[in-house]
Amino acid sequence: MNLYTIELFLHVSGAIGAFVCLGIWLFGLSALRRAQRVEQVRAIAWLIIIASPLMVFSVVLIVLGGFYMALSTWGLQTPWIAVALVSFLLMAPVGPFVLAARMYAILAKAGEEPDGSLSAELNRRIHDPIMGTAAQTLATVLLGIVFLMTNKPPLANSIIVMVIAFLLGLLSGLPFWLRARRAKHAPASGNEDPFLKKTIWTRRW
């Protein structure tokens, strides 16, 4: 065991932590969109927010481990490392300035409202399509970076991989925008519990 293997362990651990945090965000946002009462919004938003420190810690591990390995073994001029680094730096602000900022605003708004049904403003905020699109795009970009780490392609291929990852993330968010547009003109839903909605994952075989 040497310093490189320790840094590799920290780097991989950071990546695992980042994906765990993203999983909490993605499942939390899915639950948040099904919430019908202010109490539910408070509980789900709080759960999502407390995962934020894990993301920060994971990013620190990724950066520290990645920089050491790049400087000591590969070099920052290595094509796939340069593309991964630029992609990481471009997506890093999405967490604190797009996702966390909106989630803190939702939690604050839910704290101001009394228990019961959602207000129109709170309902609009929890169905903001930007949050779902940003979270899924962040996940696909991180997957693209993992692909670069494991395959180490040349510059052109590295750029193509990251462009595809970014576009897939944006395309995966298209249903959120369509759903938000339909919700403006759709009548209020009935008494059906949205948390018991049947899907391919919850049906009984």
Beta bridge partners of 37: 117
Count of structural domains, the chain: 1
- Tokens at residue 16, please? 């695992």
Q: Is residue 174 part of a domain?
A: yes
In a domain, 204, yes or no: no
Judge whether 144 lies within some domain.
yes
Alpha-carbon 7 to chain mean position: 25
For residue 83, the enclosing domain spans 3-184
How is residue 202 annotated by DSSP?
A: T
pLDDT in tens, 64-122: 888 888 888 888 889 999 999 999 999 989 988 999 999 999 999 999 999 999 999 99
Domain presence at residue 170: yes
- Return the pLDDT at 188: 47
The span from the CA of 90 to the CA of 116, in Å, is 40
DSSP, collapsed to helix, strand or coil, labels residue 36 as coil
Angle at 113 (CA atoms; ends 112, 116), nearest 5 degrees? 155
Structural domain includes residue 105? yes
- For the chain of 205 residues, list the mean pLDDT of each consecutive stretch of 10: 85 93 94 93 94 90 88 85 92 90 95 92 93 95 94 96 97 91 60 62 55
Residue 201 lies in a domain: no
3-state helix, strand, coil in the chain (%, to 5): 80, 0, 20
Q: What is the pLDDT of residue 202?
A: 62
Is 140 within a domain?
yes
Per-residue model confidence (pLDDT) at position 205: 44
pLDDT of residue 102: 95
The Cα–Cα gap between 107 and 36 comes to 15
What are the tokens at 195? 């948390």
